[in-house]
Structure formats: structure tokens, C-alpha cells
Amino acid sequence: MTRVKVLYDFHGEPNSSEISIAVDEILTVTNTDVGEGWWEGMNARGQRGLFPAAYVETIADTVPTPSAPIIPPAFAASTTVTRSSSQQAVEGNRYDQAADGWGDQDDWSDDDEENDTYSVIGPVSVGAAGAANATRGSNGAGAGTGYQQQQQQYPNSYYAGSGNLPAPPMSDGDNMSLASTATTVAGGRRAGGAKIFSKSGDTYLLGLPVPDVSESDRVHVLAMEHGIVWKPMRDPYTVTVDSPKKEKKFNGLKSFIAYQLTPSFTNIPVARRYKHFDWLHERLVSKFCLIPIPPLPDKQISGRYDEEFVEHRRVQLQEFVDWVCRHPILSVCGVWMHFLTCTDDKKWKTGKRTAEKDPLVGTMFCAAIFPPEKTLLPSQVDPQVEAASSFVPQMDAAVKALFAICGDQSKKFQIQWKKEYQRIGEGFSELARALGVDERRAVTQISLANSVGQAAGVFICIGQLFGEQPKHDFIPFSDRLHIYRGLLGEWPDTLGEYRNAVQKRKDCERLTAEQKMENGQLQEVNRRVDVMSYGLLAEMSHFREERDTHLKDTIRQFIGAQIEFYKSIVQKLEQAQGYF
């Protein structure tokens, strides 16, 4: 049997088929065909279970066996390749994807023959959401006319996937969603750290031919009295994220959480796993070069099936979904509609292939923007861009500071102040017991011991209120701040893309002056940079409007929750006072 050496610590989920492993531990692999990047193995103590293959490397058997034949060179080479592939897998997956079962080929592989994805992709059937056959049977009748119209309205459905393995522990203390930092903070907006002004960016900006844009893919910008804006949504809608449910696959070897999404325009619920959200986020980031995408919740390895964690993630996913639903462009794009409405396994995979071939991504997305004919002057655009460049880092620093404060206050409420008030209660309780001893010796008309004991119970109850309060104010507030933290992290790249376009225009003007570029091509370059200017100003207007309304509501709700909390504390103290 193959032996492997552990490269990183991994803590298996309690009451599951996973096994905990430690660095430098030697394991014996018993099964490499589990799927999803997981292997089955046994440690030196005889414990057997699943562990991530990317966390180990294959080691050669150094014990010589006299009767064994000489290993052929081809086999030795294959062993080296196995080890190298394992090391590459570790290096290529620096964040947790296995936390939600990403990488299983059942949902994403084009040549897959395991048709077990339908229970997750399809609509949620009543009483049997986890049964693939029941869901498959309900698809034809459950979709209804509304769903079919949506499919006709958005023919270019998108879907794509990537690999999955849990990540080695990261030393970075920032708790921002790793799904977001992988594409925004660490390596810029473009997935993989690729520069947007590469070959496709030059194709658009240099005035070369662009793909045809269908009517449904066109994005319109309007010039209004109050500024440049995206064309408003014709039919606003909402999407609810509800009913997270633990499902199993591989005969119970692997588990995952499926969330139920219900769009108001169809009222047909569909089940989506976190990995589907992760894929959606990746596609949105890569497609919309001028639109910052809100971040996803943090990923997590341990405790990912805890009821409290699952519910908190549901709330955070709702925040992500709400922001997208309010955006006039994101809310009607094909990839989003596919994510919300697709209930057929074949169409799901077809959408994946379509997404991989989508030509309107990055800077080429600007080919789909149709602004007013009036040309914008640099004097109209540049001051707003410079103002945004100054505002974004200041707001980003303020949001991060508030986010950290929310975390500190939550800990103080849940631990420190809860404990302090419980100590007060215990102190009063001790006094009540002492008074009770004397009152049993000589009966008095009023039992002071009883009153003190009642007051002790009130202070202990106040401690419980402190421990529960962050769920009503600081945690929801930090969830909203998490959205702004991710958006503000993308704005510098968005503004940088516009600056790069302006620089490209200056280069073309210089080439035209040197008679190395025709005037007609320069005019086309100017027009396309003007398109980017309109798109950028429209997104800045949308972000400002969202900030003013959404953030205002957030702060009002936070203060309201604080008011209600301290009112309840006053009522408890008045209750304690009434015992005397």
C-alpha cells in the first residue's frame, strides 16, 4: 500500500468520516478513489478515515525487499509525478475549498457520468429535497411557465467551475472571505492575478473589432439631471435564502449544506451549495471590469456543520444576494439568472461551457455598454475619479476599524461582560445564603435573604442578555461592514482600469502624431475610452446611492438594537429594585 507523509495539520469534522492528521505523520493510503480531492487512509494508531490529498505527499518505500523485482524506470517516474502533483496541489490551493465540497466532478465535469447533481441543482421538492429521483421527477412540472419564460429571456446562461481542496493554514490574520480576497485583495480583481489590459483589453481599447452583442446582453447608461446612471431596473425583485439543509453523498462519506433560494419572480426554490456561490462570485468578478462585486462569507474547515455557523452563513449569503438583486446590471445578467433559475442538469453543464467561452469578460465587457452619444470631456470625469481615489482608502480604513471594533465588542459582550454580571449575581447569591442562615435561627417579618436571592437571579439573567446581544447588533452590523470591506477592496482596481485606459489613449495620440496610427482608429479609441468613462461614472453613482440608503438603514438598525437592549437592562434592574 502507498504511504504518505503529512505536510499540514488537518482537524477532521467530529462525528464524520474524516480523520485528524498532524505534520510529519505517516499514513497508509487505503483508497484514492473517494473523489473531491479526498483520500482514505489509516494512521499508526489504526484509525481510519478521509483526509485531503493535497495535505500529504507520497513517500517511497525505503525498506529493501530481497525478493522484489527491480522497479522499472517508468514506475519510478510515475511515483515522482505523483509526488510533484501533490506538491503542486498544495501550492495551487491556498484557501479552503473543501469546506463546502468543491472540486467534486459530479457537478462540473463535462464527461461526468454520475448523475447525482440534480438533487442540488434542481428545485427543492417538498418532503424529499435530498432525493435525486424525486427532484428529477418534479422538474418538468415544477418549473412552470414563469421559469420557461426566464430561460427564453436569458438564453446565454453561464456556469464554470474550478478545483477543490482544503487549504493549508494561512498566517494572514484578516478574516475577510477568502473567496473574495483571492480575487480582490491579494491579486487584484482578475482571477489568477492576470492583468486586464492584456490581449483582450488591447483588442477593445485599440479599436479592433469586438464580438456582436445581443439585445439581452446590452447595458444602457443614461445621462440624468443628477448625473450619469445605469438604466434603472424595469421589474425589481427579491431573492430569499432559506432552509439550509445538510445533505450527504458517496453513500454518506461526504456531507454538504444546501441553501434554498427562492426568486420572487418565479417562486420556484432551487438548492445551491456554497461552492455554487463561490463559482458565481468568480464569474461576476471576471466578467464585470467596472463593477465591484460584493464578497462572500468566510470559508471555514472546522465546525462548518454547526447549526449556529450554518445560520450565520445563511444570513451573510442573504446580504450578498440582496446587494446583487439591487444592482441594475448584476441583477439581470445571464450568469445570475442562470444561477437563480436553472433546474436542469444538462442546461447547468451547458451554461458552464458557455461561461468558459464568454467573450464579453474583462475590458471586453465594455463592448456591451451603450452610453449617450454626447462625448464626455476629461474635465468632467477626471475630478470625480480623483475624488473617488481619495475617498475609497479613507472609507476602507474606517470600515475596517469599525469591523474590528464590532469583533472586539462582540467578544466583550459574550465573554467579559457576561461573566462580570454573572459574578455580581453570584456575589448576591452568596450574600443571600449567609442571610438565610441567620433568618432560619430567628424568623423575621421580611425575608431579606429571599429578596437578595431574587436580585441575584436578575443579575445572572442580565449576564445572559449581554452574552446574547451581539447577535442582534454587533454581528449584523459587522456582516454589513463585511460587504463594504469587500467592495472597497475592489474599487482601487476598478479605478486603475480607467486610468490604464486613459494612458492607452495618450499612447495612441502619440502614435497618431508620429503617423503610426490612423486618425480613424484614434477616434475609435477615444469613443471606447468614453464608453468606459460613462460606465465608471454610472457605477460610482450607484455605489453612492446604495451607500447613502443602505448604510443609513444599517446604522439606524444597529442603534435601534442598542436602544432595545439597554431598555431591557433597565427593566431588569427595576425588577431587581422592586424586591426591596
For residue range 18-67, list pLDDT tens digits in order: 889 998 899 999 988 776 678 889 999 888 888 888 788 888 765 444 44
- Across residues 121-133, what is the average pLDDT? 43
Lowest mean pLDDT among 246-260, 323-337, 366-380, 533-547: 246-260
* pLDDT higher than 50, residue 152: no
Domain 3-58 indexed as CATH 1.10.3720.10: no
* pLDDT higher than 90, residue 132: no
Summarize pLDDT for 527-566 with one digit per residue, the tens. Answer: 999 999 999 999 999 999 999 999 999 999 999 999 999 9
Summarize pLDDT for 352-373 with one digit per residue, the tens. Answer: 788 778 889 888 999 999 999 9
pLDDT of residue 460: 93
* pLDDT higher than 70, residue 171: no
Question: If 0-12 CB within 10 Å is exposed, 13-18 middle and 19+ buried, where does residue 578 land?
Answer: exposed
pLDDT of residue 50: 87
pTM score > 0.85 for this model? no
pLDDT of residue 574: 95
Place of cell 434542481: 122
Q: How many other β-carbons are positioned within 10 Å of the β-carbon of residue 313?
A: 23
SS (H, E, C) 289-302: CCCCCCCCCCCCCC
Summarize pLDDT for 507-531 with one digit per residue, the tens. Answer: 999 999 999 888 988 899 999 999 9
* pLDDT higher than 50, residue 129: no
Amino acid in the structure at residue 220 = H
Q: Can you give the residue ranges of every domain in the chain?
A: 3-58, 230-370, 378-578
The CATH number of the domain covering residues in 378-578:
1.20.1270.60
pLDDT of residue 120: 53
Lowest mean pLDDT among 121-125, 343-347, 449-453, 553-557: 121-125
Share of residues in the chain with pLDDT > 90 (%): 48
Superfamily (CATH H level) for 230-370: Phox-like domain (3.30.1520.10)
For CA atoms 576, 577, 579, 580, the dihedral sign is: positive
CA distances from 433 to 17, 116, 429, 443 (A): 50, 63, 6, 15
Which has more confidence, 439 or 284?
284
